[in-house]
Protein backbone atom coordinates (compact mmCIF):
# COMPACT_ATOMS: atom_id res chain seq x y z
CA UNK A 1 0.00 0.00 0.00
CA UNK A 2 1.44 3.36 -0.98
CA UNK A 3 1.88 6.10 1.63
CA UNK A 4 -0.82 8.18 -0.06
CA UNK A 5 -3.36 5.39 0.30
CA UNK A 6 -2.31 4.64 3.86
CA UNK A 7 -2.83 8.24 4.93
CA UNK A 8 -6.11 8.44 2.99
CA UNK A 9 -7.41 5.73 5.31
CA UNK A 10 -6.13 7.82 8.21
CA UNK A 11 -8.22 10.73 6.95
CA UNK A 12 -11.31 8.54 6.69
CA UNK A 13 -10.84 7.12 10.19
CA UNK A 14 -10.13 10.60 11.54
CA UNK A 15 -13.35 11.93 10.05
CA UNK A 16 -15.30 9.09 11.65
CA UNK A 17 -13.72 9.80 15.04
CA UNK A 18 -14.22 13.55 14.67
CA UNK A 19 -17.94 12.95 14.28
CA UNK A 20 -17.93 11.37 17.75
CA UNK A 21 -20.01 14.14 19.33
CA UNK A 22 -22.74 13.54 16.74
CA UNK A 23 -22.82 9.84 17.60
CA UNK A 24 -22.78 10.79 21.28
CA UNK A 25 -25.82 12.95 20.67
CA UNK A 26 -27.58 10.04 18.98
CA UNK A 27 -26.82 7.89 22.03
CA UNK A 28 -28.09 10.65 24.29
CA UNK A 29 -31.36 10.79 22.40
CA UNK A 30 -31.74 7.01 22.54
CA UNK A 31 -30.98 7.02 26.28
CA UNK A 32 -33.52 9.76 26.94
CA UNK A 33 -36.19 7.95 24.90
CA UNK A 34 -35.53 4.83 26.98
CA UNK A 35 -35.73 6.92 30.14
CA UNK A 36 -39.08 8.46 29.27
CA UNK A 37 -40.46 5.11 28.16
CA UNK A 38 -39.44 3.47 31.44
CA UNK A 39 -40.90 6.33 33.48
CA UNK A 40 -44.16 6.02 31.57
CA UNK A 41 -44.32 2.27 32.16
CA UNK A 42 -42.98 1.78 35.67
CA UNK A 43 -42.22 5.12 37.24
CA UNK A 44 -39.24 3.54 39.01
CA UNK A 45 -35.98 5.37 39.62
CA UNK A 46 -33.86 2.35 38.66
CA UNK A 47 -35.19 2.26 35.11
CA UNK A 48 -34.77 6.03 34.83
CA UNK A 49 -31.16 5.82 36.00
CA UNK A 50 -30.39 3.14 33.39
CA UNK A 51 -31.52 5.35 30.51
CA UNK A 52 -29.66 8.38 31.83
CA UNK A 53 -26.58 6.20 32.28
CA UNK A 54 -26.70 5.24 28.58
CA UNK A 55 -27.11 8.88 27.59
CA UNK A 56 -24.15 10.06 29.66
CA UNK A 57 -21.75 7.31 28.56
CA UNK A 58 -22.41 7.83 24.86
CA UNK A 59 -22.03 11.59 25.18
CA UNK A 60 -18.76 11.21 27.09
CA UNK A 61 -17.41 8.71 24.55
CA UNK A 62 -18.17 11.09 21.69
CA UNK A 63 -16.48 14.01 23.41
CA UNK A 64 -13.40 11.94 24.31
CA UNK A 65 -12.94 10.51 20.79
CA UNK A 66 -13.31 13.80 18.93
CA UNK A 67 -9.86 15.31 19.70
CA UNK A 68 -8.15 12.07 18.61
CA UNK A 69 -10.06 12.19 15.33
CA UNK A 70 -9.09 15.80 14.72
CA UNK A 71 -5.44 15.04 15.50
CA UNK A 72 -5.53 12.05 13.14
CA UNK A 73 -6.99 14.23 10.38
CA UNK A 74 -4.23 16.82 10.82
CA UNK A 75 -1.41 14.25 10.87
CA UNK A 76 -2.87 12.29 7.95
CA UNK A 77 -3.32 15.45 5.89
CA UNK A 78 0.28 16.49 6.43
CA UNK A 79 1.66 13.00 5.74
CA UNK A 80 -0.51 12.54 2.64
CA UNK A 81 0.52 15.94 1.32
CA UNK A 82 4.19 15.09 1.85
CA UNK A 83 3.72 11.74 0.10
CA UNK A 84 2.07 13.47 -2.89
CA UNK A 85 4.92 16.00 -3.07
CA UNK A 86 7.47 13.18 -2.92
CA UNK A 87 5.66 11.34 -5.73
CA UNK A 88 5.63 14.51 -7.85
CA UNK A 89 9.32 15.12 -7.17
CA UNK A 90 10.19 11.53 -8.07
CA UNK A 91 8.13 11.77 -11.27
CA UNK A 92 9.78 15.05 -12.32
CA UNK A 93 13.27 13.65 -11.65
CA UNK A 94 12.59 10.63 -13.84
CA UNK A 95 11.81 12.83 -16.83
pLDDT (tens digit per residue) in 44-91: 777 777 778 878 888 888 888 888 888 888 888 888 888 888 888 887
In a domain, 89, yes or no: no
In a domain, 40, yes or no: yes
In 2-33, which positions are buried (b, 16+ CB within 10 angstroms) versus exposed (e)? eeeeebeebbeebeebbebbebbeebbeebee
pLDDT of 2 > 80? The answer is no
In a domain, 77, yes or no: yes
pTM of the model: 0.68
**CB-CB contact of 27 with 59 (8 Å):** yes
Number of domains in the chain: 1
Domain hosting residue 70, numbered range? 22-84
CB neighbours of 3 closer than 8 A, spacing ≥ 6? 79, 80, 83, 86
Amino acid sequence: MSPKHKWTWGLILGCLLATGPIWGLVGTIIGMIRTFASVAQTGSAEATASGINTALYTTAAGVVLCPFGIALIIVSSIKRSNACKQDALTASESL
